[in-house]
Amino acid sequence: MANTTAVYARIDTDLKENAEGILSKLGITPASAIQMLYSQIVLRQGMPFELKLPAPAPVAIGSLSKEQLDAELQKGIDSLKTGKRYTADEVDEMLRKEFGI
């Protein structure tokens, strides 16, 4: 048998139970899942998935209070007063960059 060592980690109980339920359905033990993760880290010389902060979601008008909506509308009015305008293509590009849409 290969030389082995133990890995100990403290994780949230619900997360552990949910993950182990899924692993069980896949026929994979938690130890095998950890072995697979470590193998992929070595193979890829890093994490086997992208690590980044999620893109902020656009704010729905219905979730704003009257004061927040008024403030957002005022930003638009102020922008118009300064003469700054955006083409539809410019707006699409800004939305794509900021929200990934």
pLDDT at 58: 76
Which CATH number covers residue 20?
1.10.1220.10
Q: Which two tokens stand for residue 92?
A: 């699409």
pLDDT value, residue 72: 87
Q: Are residues 8 and 46 in the same domain?
A: yes
Taking 70 as the threshold, does the pLDDT of residue 1 lie above it?
no
Q: Do both 44 and 81 map to the same domain?
A: no
Same-domain check for residues 47 and 88: no
User: 58, 101 in Cβ contact below 8 A?
Assistant: yes
Residue 11: its pLDDT value, please? 95
Distance, in Å, from the CA atom of 38 to the CA atom of 9, rounded to the nearest integer, reads: 14
pLDDT, position 9 = 93
Angle at 61 between CA 92 and CA 96, to 5 degrees: 20
Q: What is the pLDDT of residues 69-85, one digit of tens each?
A: 999 899 889 988 998 88
Residues 22 and 47 in one domain: yes
Averaged over 83-97, what is the pLDDT?
87
Q: Are residues 8 and 37 in the same domain?
A: yes
- Domain count for the chain: 2
Question: Identity (one letter) of the amino acid at 33?
Answer: A
How far is residue 75's CA from residue 52's CA, in Å, rounded to a whole number?
30
Residues 42 and 88 in one domain: no
Residues 36, 83 within the same domain:
no
Give the pLDDT score at 62: 87
pLDDT in tens, 13-72: 999 999 999 999 999 999 999 999 999 999 999 999 988 887 777 778 888 899 999 998
**Backbone φ, ψ for residue 75 (5° rounding):** -60, -45
Domain limits for position 45: 1-52
